[in-house]
Amino acid sequence: MKYIYDLHKTMLANNLILIYEGEFTQEITKSVLSMAERNMDSMGEESNIKRKVFNVMVECLQNIVKHSDEVDDHDSDQPSAIFMIGKSNTDYIITTGNPIKNENVDKVKGRLDKINGLDKDGLKQLYKEIIKGTEISEKGGAGLGFVDMARKSGNSLDYAFEQMNDKYSFFSLKSTISGQA
């Protein structure tokens, strides 16, 4: 039972408001969003900050729902997806993690590096280009999610890939949203 207290201390030390680990469906996504929104309401957060945080959370959660690769090994040690939101001083930190196939790592890394290399105007231009010229992928995305996260947060997207085995890596993504208007 001590692990519960240890987990609680870890959450407090890292200013974590909400953590969800497991299967992500549209219904679970709605519940996670609702809980996070109630937390921000109870903290008396300004509506424009809540809107930014909410928009980035939606993109992060949709990214998990649409683009996580199912690990086909039925090994219980294989991680599922995770979502965390925390607050440090005035900034909100949204972190997600999910398995992706190793063959997709370079593509995702390239997309994130390109986005992180753009300023506000560059992100706006890329967003417009994607809207005008992109078809919806088989997974239901047009590639706007990362761009939207960077635009809404006003910050670069931090990421990492940890190789799990010869087929999969665990993709971690962190977005920081300034809590100052």
DSSP track, the chain: -HHHHHHHHHHHHTTEEEEEEE---HHHHHHHHHHHHHHHHHTT--HHHHHHHHHHHHHHHHHHHHHPPPP-S--TTS--EEEEEEEETTEEEEEEEEEEEGGGHHHHHHHHHHHHT--HHHHHHHHHHHHHH-PPPTTS--S-HHHHHHHHH-SPPEEEEEE-SSSEEEEEEEEEE----
Over 70: is that where the pLDDT of 61 sits?
Answer: yes
Query: pLDDT band at residue 91, thresholds of 50, 70 and 90?
Result: very high
What is the value of pTM for the model shown?
0.85
Q: How far is it, in rounded angstroms, from Cα 85 to Cα 65?
A: 17
CATH code reported for the domain at 2-177: 3.30.565.10
Please tell me the least confidently modeled range out of 113-117, 128-132, 138-142, 152-156: 138-142
Residue 147 has pLDDT above 80, yes or no: yes
Which pLDDT does position 125 carry in this prediction? 93
- Choice among 60-69, 100-109, 168-177 with the minimum mean pLDDT: 60-69
pLDDT for position 55:
93
